[in-house]
């Protein structure tokens, strides 16, 4: 990015005073982390940075109104991100008026959406190239994406919000805007899908503030690790407080689901968790425990 001399002089003066912090608008095409060199060979992969804007947060009632995708090339062996290979941005008319709060946050209006449809063919073309999808809050975006575009069910997902230990990096907020500030001293016009997708790639290109590890390599490594969902059916009623204290969640049943306590643990913690259940929640062994393996292909999905 070419900065006029008078602006550069002003920036240097402010930074030299150590009284100010300068945030620069993210220009993803000019990011120094993009090598620009095409990757060839068996380790070449295409990742998708994806963001959705929706009519609300209720999966049962709400729908996607804007989709942004940035496709980028990376080396699966080295973790090098080389270049952006494709982008997509589109609107979809929900056929009902937007909540005023949605318009206030996103700037999207009913007039902007009227008669608009997401391009299934264009989205399908980008998805067909992909090896891995990245979202900043996969738990939200993945469900909406899979319902609107079932082809996303076949792809693994990684989450920059939940698959990095931001607390250990001394980061006090996990919003994309704040993380870009902490990791890259840059900003975006947030809450528009393509802007957020570009911001997500910008975050992947940075290093973590304390460990100095690559954000991309860290989330990639964590996404590849399996985890395990433990369903503690028919656990002793007397164990409910202990289960709650251990961060188990209560599934109340309904819609074909069985009432139970459940949690998700890493592979290294699995044996310890079963031992805990044997000691606290069951007196005759853990025959009523179901263990479900979770990986990047079903993690964050409603199919999990």
Q: Can you give the residue ranges of every domain in the chain?
A: 22-224, 227-294
Domain 227-294 indexed as CATH 3.90.1690:
no
Domain 22-224 indexed as CATH 3.30.420.10:
yes
Cα 6 to Cα 22: distance, rounded to the nearest angstrom: 15
Q: What is the reported pLDDT for 1?
A: 59
Digitized pLDDT (tens) for each residue of the chain, 304 residues in all: 577 889 888 988 998 988 988 899 999 999 999 999 999 999 999 999 999 999 999 999 999 999 999 999 999 999 999 999 999 999 999 999 999 999 999 999 999 999 999 999 999 999 999 999 999 999 999 999 999 999 999 999 999 999 999 999 999 999 999 999 999 999 999 999 999 999 999 999 999 999 999 999 999 999 999 999 999 999 999 999 999 999 999 999 888 889 999 999 999 999 999 999 999 999 777 679 999 999 999 999 988 7
219 Cβ contact list (under 8 Å, min separation 6): 134, 158, 159, 160, 163, 164, 204
Q: What is the reported pLDDT for 121?
A: 98
R_g of the chain computed on alpha carbons: 22
Nearest to 146 by CA among 255, 262, 254, 304: 304
Are the beta carbons of 263 and 273 closer than 8 angstroms?
A: yes
Within 107-225, residue ranges assigned H as helices are: 110-113, 120-129, 138-148, 176-184, 193-204, 215-224
171 Cβ contact list (under 8 Å, min separation 6): 178, 179, 182, 209
Q: What is the reported pLDDT for 4?
A: 87
Q: What is the reported pLDDT for 110?
A: 98
Cα 203 to Cα 232: distance, rounded to the nearest angstrom: 38
């Amino acid at each position: 990015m070419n900065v006029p001399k008078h602006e550069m002089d002003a920036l240097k003066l402010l930074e030299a005073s150590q009284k100010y912090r300068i945030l620069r608008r993210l220009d993803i095409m000019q990011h120094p982390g993009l090598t620009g060199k095409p990757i060839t060979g068996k380790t070449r992969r295409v990742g998708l940075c994806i963001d959705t804007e929706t009519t609300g947060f209720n999966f049962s009632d709400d729908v996607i109104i804007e989709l942004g995708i940035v496709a980028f090339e990376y080396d699966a062996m080295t973790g090098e991100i080389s270049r952006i290979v494709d982008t997509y941005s589109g609107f979809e008319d929900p056929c009902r008026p937007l909540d005023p709060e949605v318009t206030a946050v996103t700037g999207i209006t009913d007039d902007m959406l009227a008669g608009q449809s997401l391009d299934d063919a264009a989205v399908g073309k980008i998805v067909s190239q992909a090896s891995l999808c990245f979202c900043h809050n996969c738990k939200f975006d993945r469900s909406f994406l899979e319902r609107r575009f079932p082809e996303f069910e076949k792809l693994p997902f990684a989450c920059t919000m939940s698959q990095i230990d931001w607390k250990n990096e001394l980061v006090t907020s996990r919003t994309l805007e704040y993380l870009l500030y902490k990791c890259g001293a840059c900003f975006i016009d947030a809450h528009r899908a393509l802007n957020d997708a570009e911001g997500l790639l910008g975050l992947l290109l940075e290093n973590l503030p304390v460990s100095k590890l690559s954000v991309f390599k860290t989330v990639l490594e964590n996404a590849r690790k399996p985890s395990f969902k433990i369903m503690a059916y028919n656990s002793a009623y007397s164990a409910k407080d202990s289960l709650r204290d251990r961060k188990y969640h209560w599934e109340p049943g309904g819609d074909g689901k069985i009432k139970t306590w459940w949690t998700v643990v890493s592979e290294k913690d699995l044996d310890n968790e079963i031992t805990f259940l044997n000691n606290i929640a069951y007196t005759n062994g853990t025959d009523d425990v179901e263990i479900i393996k979770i990986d990047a292909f079903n993690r964050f999905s409603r199919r999990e």
